[in-house]
Copies of this chain bind each other. A is one copy, B any other.
Amino acid sequence: MNDSDKFPTAILGASGYIGQHFARLLARHPTFAPPILVGGERSQGQRLEELWQLTEEPPRELARERLRRLSPAQLQRAGVRIVFGAFPSGLAGPVETECRRRGIHVFTNAADHRMDPDVPLLVPEVNAAHLRALTAGSHRRALLVTNPNCTATGLVLALAPVWSLLSPKVVHVTTYQALSGAGLPGIASLSITDNVIPYIPHEEEKVAAESNRILGIVRNGRIVPDRVPFLANCARVAVRDGHLEAVTVEARRHPSVADLRQAWTDFDPLRDLKLPTAPHPPVELRSQPDRPQPSRDRWAGQPERARGMAAVVGRIRWNPPYLRFFVLSHNAVRGGAGESVLNAELADALGLLPRGRTNAS
């Protein structure tokens, strides 16, 4: 596909850590054209390479592009069909609403709209049905789709394959969260060197609310969240990327450990959709006793384009009614930019992004 046949796109907030991962993932995407880079007051006019903070080199296609301060109206006039949202929460909400009003599809990492009743909070392998349900009656409207908090994403990916097998009564989760989860500039080095910070504002509440929403069912075209208590303890550790989580599920049902492993191994609901950024399998099991580890497993995911998109599960211990395991996922890829790109790919595969003219409301 030529770039001219691809969807014109933009990144809202290309100067941030998630924004830069969007740039990396979209520079050579098979169906989304290289994005316009939208920045804020401070970053406008600067080249992407000047702001670059990832350890990988900036993508050559975009490195010398300058960030521009563009309104939704200007994006609409520029023909942008899809925006990927990486503005800070709070700032993001109104801009995303306005983009949508102007017929631009929004796939966003910002938290503002995650709990809106008509907005899917999407992890494609887990709740693609939510996307279908919430878009069933709105053919003419642009989409607004959110991805969850970076901690909730890995957690629900690990839980989804075994959720109905276990029928959880309570989920305990304690986290070892990476520095990049705090964005840029993020955590001061003096605060975290030789240290752990056992507090991340609002994180524990988000994990609980978002996980239940994602694992909820569709009834009468609405999402009915699950109501399992998620008891979270969230802490920051001196790791660059990759959120590790210790999970203990108190279960109502007691399958065999072989059944649990089989459920994880067989899990690949998107297998046939051939989404470019989808990992196969989405959950990788590790048999070594000391895995998953952030430095070794953060880039898990096959094929190449899906690197960093798999959740890695290990140290499974099953003492009914308690199942314990660790899960790791790349917070900025599976738990951020990659997730929203995958969400857009799913929407496209489901025919929700018609290629015709834009649909301003």
Contacts and interface: CB of A to CB of B under 8 A. Distances in A.
Nearest to A233: B246
Nearest to A322: B231
Contacts of A174: 174, 233, 246
Interface string A249-286: 00000000000000000000000000000000000000
Nearest to A325: B233
Which of A180, A193, A199, A237 counts the most B-chain CB atoms under 10 A from its CB? A193
Which of A180, A191, A194, A319 counts the most B-chain CB atoms under 10 A from its CB? A194
A239 B197 CA distance: 11
Interface in A211-269: 229, 231, 233, 235, 237-240, 244, 246, 248
A356 B229 CA distance: 61
A186 B189 CA distance: 7
Contact of A198 (B53, B195, B314): B314
Interface string A290-327: 11111110000000000000000011000100101010
Contacts of A292: 198
A48 B322 CA distance: 34
A187 B184 contact: no
A198 B288 CA distance: 11
B197 A190 contact: no
Interface string A49-76: 0000101010000000000000000000
A238 B193 contact: yes
Interface residues of A, number: 50
A196 B180 CA distance: 15
A351 interface: no
Contact of A238 (B17, B172, B238, B322): B238
A318 to B, nearest CB: 12
Contacts of A193: 179, 189, 194, 238-240, 295
A185 interface: yes
A194 B240 CA distance: 6
Nearest to A314: B198
A289 interface: yes
A187 B186 contact: no
Given A197-B293, A296-B55, A176 B237 contact: yes
A295 B233 contact: no
Interface string A144-173: 000000000000000000000000000010
Interface of A: 17, 53, 55, 57, 172, 174, 176, 179-180, 184-199, 229, 231, 233, 235, 237-240, 244, 246, 248, 289-296, 314-315, 319, 322, 324, 326
